[in-house]
Amino acid sequence: MTRGARPVWLTWTGVAGTVLISSGAFILSFTALTDLASAAGIHPGLTWIWPLIVDGLIVVATIGVVALAGRAQVWYPWVLLIGASALSITANAVEATMRAITVASWVAVAVSAVPPLVLLAVTHLTVVLGKPVRQTTAVTTPQAPVVASTTHDAHMPVLSESVAAERPPTRPRQRQPRQASPGVVARDFVVNYLRAQGGSASASAVTQAGRQAGFAADTLRVARRRCTPPVVSTDTPDGWVWAIQDDAQPMPVCA
């Protein structure tokens, strides 16, 4: 979504209105300064140059201020703008006092100061309206959809494939094997575990318990074959089951 954009017709309407107002202010100020230049003794054919210099400098300096906004050199057009504005206002006031007959001098000065002030303000506004508007795009971060997991905890959110693909792969955490209890061999562990379970248990349960005790799965399978009486392994519909073959004898001795 773009922000800060304005209709083109609105911009051009504002520019046209400011140009019209500034033109009227320029004509009034131009006339007053021309009369003042004529009264000051400037050649009648050249009196139009004096107001063109003063009020023209206001326009050019205003454009310079806007163009150099944010730069260190902007102080120079500001000096020119302030100086030209002060000169134009003063000259208009002087010319008004010279012709003030039916009104007080301060009224004539106030009225004569309006054209140069309006010229200054409207020229600046025209330049600002003519500048293009920067369009900023609001960046929205897509949220990863949360789906129910069938293999994980139901309270754990699962990221979609597109979001998960953007993440760098993580190395699986390697578990450090637990150390077996000192003095306990794999054969003793198998026999003791089966005796504790009533003489039989699933092979996966024995293997899982053995891993927790620090034994590898291959070590447990080898230990099962070396026990006397032997620990047999039977394939059942629920999986492999390990059992001590002779439950009537005392604790079997593993060779």
Asked whether residue 162 is assigned to any structural domain, the reply reads: no
Domain extent, residue 249, equals: 186-254
- CB-CB contact of 242 with 189 (8 Å): no
What would the two tokens of residue 218 be?
A: 């291959």
Q: Is residue 141 part of a domain?
A: no
Q: What is the CA radius of gyration of the chain?
A: 48
- Is there a domain that residue 77 lies in? yes
Parts of the chain with a pLDDT under 50: 1-3, 148-152, 163, 176-183, 248, 255
pLDDT at 91: 87
Q: Measured between alpha carbons, how far is residue 225 from residues 62, 118, 191 in Å?
A: 100, 107, 11
Q: Is 24 part of any domain? A: yes
Q: Do 121 and 191 lie in a common domain? A: no
Domain membership of residue 165 (yes or no) is: no
Same domain, 121 and 216: no
Pair (128, 201) in one structural domain: no
Domain total in the chain = 2
Which pTM does this prediction carry? Answer: 0.42
Domain membership flag for residue 55: yes
Q: In terms of C-beta density within 10 A (0-12 exposed, 13-18 middle, 19 or more buried), how is residue 171 classed?
A: exposed
